Structure 1
């Protein structure tokens, strides 16, 4: 499927859905839409051979050739729809393209978009629209035969989805029957299934994660649950706790960005010292299902190789656990600890 990815003013640093699709999704990316970097190519900003290269254009009218879908590749705080994107969504629907959105604002509920989709026989997939039959957890996720690993973070956008996907792919390369449990919009788009836990009724969050773990637990030996948010985040801690208790994981991998000291978008809230973050996750897990932080994943994308190595050594020492940057150096250290 040929897609264009909308990432206006956010590509690549604050467009994690766009980057995730470029790296992992089974799509052919025709273009990235970003007014600020139009005229560049993806490769000018992401030096990773696994990331698809594509032109960056200012809007949907600049996308050449056949196009099957437009994907909203950014999710601003609160998940709202910015009116400056309307012309691109309108243009995509007008040329017969489906639209995929991970926003909390449902495009299907927008009268203009719904009318255009009907006129041009297009589908709108609001990825964050959860099933309507969710319920509370029964506390049964630990009953599955599979080992369950959960990625947790010191903040949002620290690499939990990336680490989860990389772990699954690396485990499969070693011959382990592994599967990803997608809990956020990017993972759901990449895997084409999952439940958006940050859109569930609060009482049902743990139950949604439990449902996915139990659905896949009999079919695989290793399940990697994609974490969300952070237990210390002033806005998103509730969903983090729901995933932790719903998944009842055997082991945890702590994801962090090198040098980040405060919560992104909430800079008056410092990230606690890493040992305290580890203790918070382990102590919170213990009453439901004990789990230790067995490894660390560190995002060093903004550092050169020398500084990245130093940062990883410091991170591993602080955690007293193996650590690596899975994109830069592979997942061996994390995977060994997980397995």
Structure 2
């Protein structure tokens, strides 16, 4: 499928969905929409992912595109009205539109009418199934090894770390599954449940359902983490994933240089404190240990400095660590094996 990615004024640093699709999805990305970077290419901003031109609007995208993906999700998941002409253009051309916003495009009267008129699909990725229930606390019944990523904060690379571990495991011949819990993971995997949109009573149950299904058929289950246990707005999502997954192991994710909570004027606790925080929090439902760490070093200039940062992170948490994008996830994967 040929797709365009909408990432206006956020690409690449605040367009993690767009970057995730470029790095991991099986789509053929023909263009990225970003008014601020019009005339450049993806490779000018992000190495080692699909390359494509960056253009100003959907009207600059070739006619043979199949879908437009909203590749950004601002705090609160709102729809920016400046995107409306691009979505309208896509639907009028018969293109499907996929969105991970909390604002459902299918409930937008104009978009719903255009989709029906032109035979296009509106896929609101964050719309959960309606048949969810509370968790039964029975994930420990599966034989699979369940590994969940957890973070010091939002947007530190939990989805990326989970995906890298999963893909490396598959490449080594391990029977592994990826459990998608957020919009980016769902767009990449093609299935999953958006835990941050599930009624709170049912959120752990939604995670439990996915882990039970994956664990019945696979030896290793890698669960995509969300948010952080210390985040003032999103800690509930983290809690639901940790308790719903009942993981055997945890992988702690952090971004080098991050010292305050994303979007808030609040200092992060010391990195080393997160090991006990997460192990203690998981303890009532799972004897989970922080078996390794993943450090996002995108803000570190050179590889030597990045390796030093990874080593310091490993020392701080008392476990092996990697930068899964820069150096690969093999050190942590070997410990999991």
User: Taking structure 1 as the reference length, what is the TM-score of the superposition?
Assistant: 0.98
Partner of 1:245: 243
Q: Which runs of 4+ in 1 moved over 3 A?
A: none
User: Taking structure 2 as the reference length, what is the TM-score of the superposition?
Assistant: 0.99
Q: Does 1:56 align with 2:64?
A: no
Partner of 1:27: 27
Partner of 1:312: 310
Cα distance in 1 between the residues matched to 2:141 and 2:57: 49
The 5 A counterparts of 1:257-296 are: 257-266=255-264, 268-296=265-293
**Per-residue deviation, residues 219-239 of structure 1 (Å, max 9, x unmatched):** 100000000000000000001
Partner of 1:211: 209
The 5 A counterparts of 1:1-339 are: 1-48=1-48, 51-266=49-264, 268-303=265-300, 304-339=302-337
Report how far residue 65 of structure 1 moved.
3.6
Cα distance in 1 between the residues matched to 2:224 and 2:281: 18
Cα distance in 1 between the residues matched to 2:287 and 2:234: 22
Cα distance in 1 between the residues matched to 2:55 and 2:267: 37
5+ residue gaps, structure 1, are none
Taking only aligned residues, the RMSD between alpha carbons, in angstroms, comes to 0.7
Task: Please state whether the residue corresponding to 1:183 is helix, strand or coil.
Answer: coil
Report how far residue 277 of structure 1 moved.
1.4
Task: Please state whether the residue corresponding to 2:177 is helix, strand or coil.
Answer: strand
Task: Please state whether the residue corresponding to 1:148 is helix, strand or coil.
Answer: strand
Cα distance in 1 between the residues matched to 2:305 and 2:36: 29
Task: Please state whether the residue corresponding to 1:239 is helix, strand or coil.
Answer: helix
**Per-residue deviation, residues 169-220 of structure 1 (Å, max 9, x unmatched):** 1111211100100000011011101000000000101000000011111110
Report how far residue 64 of structure 1 moved.
1.7
Q: Aligned residues, how many?
A: 336
**Per-residue deviation, residues 47-93 of structure 1 (Å, max 9, x unmatched):** 11xx1000000000011240100000001000000000000000000
